[in-house]
Amino acid sequence: MRRPVIAGNWKLYKTVKETVQFVEQLKPLVQNSSHCDIVIAPPFTALSAAIHAAAGTNILVSGQDLFWEKEGAFTGEVSAPMLADLGCQFCIVGHSERRQYFGETNETVNRKTQAALAAGLTPIVCIGETLAEREVNQTHTVIQTQFDEGFNNLTVQDFFRIVVAYEPVWAIGTGRTATPEMAVEVHKQIRQFAQQKFGSEASRELRILYGGSVKPNNIKGLMAQVDIDGALVGGASLKADSFASMVNF
Ligand code: PGA
């Protein structure tokens, strides 16, 4: 059985004070929610506060990005061992906003994924097509390339520890969610790529999240699909009650 993951990607939102407030509000709302991994991804500056506030609870903390080197002359970067040392258990890798605005490529996604794994973090690796790519029927090819290049040189053992998030770029922050059927079609393809590259068991065990305008009012339909193992939520994860209602889908 694949354990669902409901993850909140806060992007560039929340101060330390707002983070602590959020966690305090969230705690009682999810204290009995043992059916899934509950993950929040605050900005770097609020990670420590989030980890402190969530200590002893079922709320897990994730980075939003990392750099692949452990240490060195890389001004402004944060490494995987630094996140692990802080108490993070997950890290988002290859979010489409990183690809779009900060030059992330499948190759850098691959390096970051390997760095996260080496540090004991669970990478949540994001893949997804743009609207232009979907409109010319390139979805399958784009996803396959992101998958193959992003997971190049990974062992089967490594792959067991990965979470994939399918996030169609046209659905992120637009209020335009993929229908459960559209999402499932791609999730099935991803599972097939996983099978070809890493074998049946790894493919069966792979947790594939959907992301892109997930809200309290559409999460149920998405989570009802056998091939959707959770959600990566942006905008709707910023309020504790809204996030809690998605955790308790
Ligand atoms: P959204 O963002 O839920 O605001 O569409 C999702 C994401 O970027 O992970």
- The CATH number given to whatever domain includes residue 231 is 3.20.20.70
Q: Whose Cα sits closest to atom 3 in ligand 1?
A: 234
Q: How far apart are CA 36 and CA 29, in angstroms?
A: 14
Atom of ligand 1 lying closest to residue 92 CA: 9
Closest CA to 64 of 81, 87, 85, 88: 88
pLDDT at residue number 1: 85
Q: How far apart are CA 166 and CA 178, in angstroms?
A: 11
Our count of domains for the chain comes to: 1
Q: List, for residues 35-45, the tens digit of each pLDDT value.
A: 999 999 999 99
Q: 62 in ligand 1 pocket by Cβ < 6 Å?
A: no
What range does the domain containing 200 cover? 5-247
Instruction: Kindly list the distances between the CA atom of residue 149 and the CA atoms of 88, 113, 156, 247, in Å, as whole numbers in the listed order.
Output: 26, 11, 15, 32
Q: 94 in ligand 1 pocket by Cβ < 6 Å?
A: no
pLDDT at residue number 175: 86
pLDDT at residue number 233: 98
Gap from CA of 104 to ligand 1 centroid (Å): 17
Gap from CA of 189 to ligand 1 centroid (Å): 21
pLDDT at residue number 88: 98
Amino acid at 202: A
Q: List, for residues 90-125, the tens digit of each pLDDT value.
A: 999 999 999 999 999 999 999 999 999 999 999 999
Residues 6+ apart with CB under 8 A from 30: 38, 58, 59, 244, 247, 248
Model confidence pTM above 0.95: yes
Q: Which segments in the chain show pLDDT lower than 70?
A: none
pLDDT at residue number 227: 96
Q: How is the chain split among helix, strand and coil, in percent rounded to 5?
A: 45, 15, 35
Gap from CA of 168 to ligand 1 centroid (Å): 10
